[in-house]
């Protein structure tokens, strides 16, 4: 997309009044306070003029005209820019990683699935950082099975009421650990299994507790040159980088599991974990499908629109999510050398799905659609059809080919409608 094309999209779509009805919902948490809402922009007429950086033009200004140039030159360049200015540098796997299968039940959920619990140890010590995977593989179906992999917010035992799931994690600063199955409406385990897919999940707090000082208890501390020091370089990875790193380590294990088809793993994330899924999928090409559900600012939504949650707001409220340098752009998103359409483009030519919700104004659904649209030139260069539309679709109407998109009725959440689209998308691209 060149400068004139970017401006054309800006004029035709950016100023148009939305035909959707929105409400305001904070990513992964309660409604924003009145003070927060007063500082945010929910008026399309107040979206500033902006020009998106071209995903197919290198830093030196030269255009990218071939798939090889994208692969060898522009893609590494964009990854470096996101590392330097947004998410921080992510290390490779620790050499002291160890997999331990803790339990196996071949007759879980009334015989519908084989349930496994696997612990990935990172630091070489039993009390060090670890990631506890919960795996359901479908019985009575051909193995190895394609799988959905995603982090959960409140502990593995909240994904399903299955009494065989070990209760661990998920309490955080709460007075009590959440109840079994309390998040099951977001994880339709039986539906996923009935469609022939495995489900793999883990609590994101295993990797790093979601608070400003969470790095002291998480995997980032393993890689610190001066353990315990509060000093972080401007491009040091934040919590999103740590959570994304953990997803790649989960993939390291799945490559060894005979019940999982390592070549058909779809990565999924909601809200801040949708941001995490996009960043993990951009870096790690082993994830063959990447799904972003209501990921908003720092995820699928364009930062330059300054609509709903902004770069300034997200860095002030969640200072630990991104690298320190990202804070420099809170009052000047137009100075960012990248924007989120380029993050989506980094997943090309693999299929990517971006989903929005009509009452989730905080996540800027229009900005999510426009980012997906602006990633399309990279998919075309690589011989893959993208969205196939230039205007946002009506509510509850999925569009797209290798770039999928829908906006559904309702709030910031993961619903049965969302999962129906993701399962159909995976069926199509995994050849089921």
Query: What is the chain's pLDDT, residue by residue, as a tens digit (432 residues)?
Result: 443 344 344 433 433 333 332 232 333 333 444 444 446 889 999 999 999 999 999 999 999 999 999 999 999 999 999 999 999 999 999 888 999 999 999 999 999 999 999 999 997 777 778 999 999 999 998 899 999 999 999 999 999 999 999 998 765 544 478 999 999 999 999 999 999 999 999 999 999 999 999 999 999 998 887 776 778 899 999 999 999 999 999 999 999 999 999 999 999 999 999 999 999 999 999 999 999 999 999 999 999 999 999 999 999 999 999 999 999 999 899 999 999 999 999 999 999 999 999 999 999 999 999 999 999 999 999 999 999 999 999 999 999 999 999 999 999 999 999 999 999 999 999 997
Active-site residue, 271 included = yes
pLDDT at 228: 66
pLDDT at 356: 98
pLDDT at 73: 98
pLDDT at 91: 94
- The C-alpha atoms of residue 394 and residue 407 are separated, in whole angstroms, by 7
Count Cβ atoms within 10 A of the Cβ of residue 222 and give its class: 0-12 exposed, 13-18 middle, 19 or more buried: middle
CA angle 70, 11, 59 (to 5 degrees): 25
pLDDT at 18: 32
- The C-alpha atoms of residue 95 and residue 170 are separated, in whole angstroms, by 27
180 contacts 158 by C-beta, under 8 angstroms: yes
Query: What token pair was written down for 54?
Result: 């071209």
- The C-alpha atoms of residue 238 and residue 320 are separated, in whole angstroms, by 6
133 contacts 253 by C-beta, under 8 angstroms: yes
If you write DSSP's letter for every residue of 379-418 in order, what string do you get?
A: HHHTT------SSPPPTT--EESSEEEEEESSSSS--HHH
Q: Any idea what DSSP says for residue 314?
A: H
pLDDT at 125: 73
pLDDT at 171: 58
pLDDT at 14: 38
Q: Looking at 271, 292, 295, 303, which residue is catalytic? A: 271
Q: What is the pTM of this model?
A: 0.91
- The C-alpha atoms of residue 127 and residue 121 are separated, in whole angstroms, by 9
Tell me how far CA of residue 184 lies from CA of 159, 339, 409, in angstroms.
5, 34, 20
Helices H / strands E in the chain, number of each: 13, 10
Tell me how far CA of residue 414 lies from CA of 30, 152, 291, in angstroms.
15, 12, 12
Measured in degrees and rounded to the nearest 5, phi and psi for residue 9 equal -65, -40
How many CA atoms lie less than 13 Å away from 172 in the CB half-sphere? 18
pLDDT at 124: 72
The sheet with strand 289-293 has its strands ordered as 98-107, 113-121, 130-138, 198-203, 145-152, 260-270, 289-293, 352-357, 403-408, 399-400
pLDDT at 168: 80
Q: Which candidate, 215, 240, 373, places its Cα nearest to that of 305?
A: 373
How many CA atoms lie less than 13 Å away from 43 in the CB half-sphere? 5
Q: Looking at 157, 320, 406, 412, which residue is catalytic? A: 412
Q: Any idea what DSSP says for residue 342?
A: H
Measured in degrees and rounded to the nearest 5, phi and psi for residue 409 equal -65, 150
Paired residues of 203 in beta bridges:
152
- What 3-state DSSP class applies to 105? strand
307 contacts 371 by C-beta, under 8 angstroms: no
Q: DSSP E strands: which ranges in 59-207?
A: 98-107, 113-121, 130-138, 145-152, 198-203
Q: Which candidate, 432, 356, 330, 344, places its Cα nearest to that of 384?
A: 344
- The C-alpha atoms of residue 206 and residue 218 are separated, in whole angstroms, by 7
Active-site residue, 248 included = no
47 contacts 14 by C-beta, under 8 angstroms: yes
- The C-alpha atoms of residue 280 and residue 290 are separated, in whole angstroms, by 9
């Amino acid at each position: 997309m060149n400068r004139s094309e970017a401006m054309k999209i800006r004029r035709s779509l950016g100023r148009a009044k939305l035909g959707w009805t929105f409400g305001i919902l904070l990513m992964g948490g309660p409604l924003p306070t009145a003070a927060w809402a007063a500082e945010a922009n929910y008026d399309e007429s107040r979206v500033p003029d902006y020009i998106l950086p071209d995903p197919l033009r290198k830093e030196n200004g030269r255009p990218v005209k071939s798939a090889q140039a994208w692969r060898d030159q522009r893609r590494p360049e964009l990854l470096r820019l996101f590392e330097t200015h947004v998410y921080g540098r992510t290390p490779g796997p620790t050499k002291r990683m160890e997999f331990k299968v803790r339990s196996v039940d071949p007759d879980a959920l009334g015989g519908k699935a084989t349930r496994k619990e696997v612990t990935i140890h990172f630091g070489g010590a039993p009390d060090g950082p670890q990631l506890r995977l919960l795996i359901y593989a479908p019985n009575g179906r051909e193995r190895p099975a394609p799988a959905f992999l995603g982090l959960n917010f409140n502990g593995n035992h909240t994904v399903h009421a299955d009494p065989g799931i070990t209760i661990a994690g998920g309490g955080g600063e709460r007075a009590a650990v959440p109840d079994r199955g309390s998040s099951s409406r977001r994880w339709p385990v039986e539906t996923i299994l009935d469609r022939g897919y495995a489900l793999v999940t883990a609590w994101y707090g295993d990797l790093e507790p979601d608070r400003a000082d969470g790095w002291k208890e998480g995997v980032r501390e393993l890689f610190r040159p001066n353990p315990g020091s509060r000093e972080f370089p401007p491009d040091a990875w934040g919590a999103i980088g740590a959570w994304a790193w953990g997803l790649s380590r989960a993939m390291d294990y799945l490559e060894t599991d005979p019940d999982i088809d390592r070549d058909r793993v779809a990565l999924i994330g909601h809200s801040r974990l949708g941001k995490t899924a996009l960043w993990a999928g951009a870096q790690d090409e082993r994830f063959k499908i990447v799904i972003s559900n209501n990921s908003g600012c720092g995820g699928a939504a364009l930062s330059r629109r300054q609509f709903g949650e902004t770069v300034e707001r997200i860095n002030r409220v969640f200072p630990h999510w991104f690298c320190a340098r990202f804070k420099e752009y809170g009052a000047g998103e137009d100075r960012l050398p990248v924007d989120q359409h380029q993050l989506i483009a980094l997943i090309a030519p693999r299929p990517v799905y971006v989903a929005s919700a009509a009452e989730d104004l905080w996540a800027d659904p229009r900005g999510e659609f426009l980012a997906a649209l602006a990633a399309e030139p990279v998919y075309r260069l690589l011989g893959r059809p993208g969205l196939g539309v230039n205007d946002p679709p009506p509510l509850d109407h999925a569009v797209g080919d290798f770039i999928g998109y829908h906006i559904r009725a309702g709030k910031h959440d993961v619903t049965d409608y969302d999962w129906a689209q993701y399962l159909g998308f995976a069926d199509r691209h995994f050849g089921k």
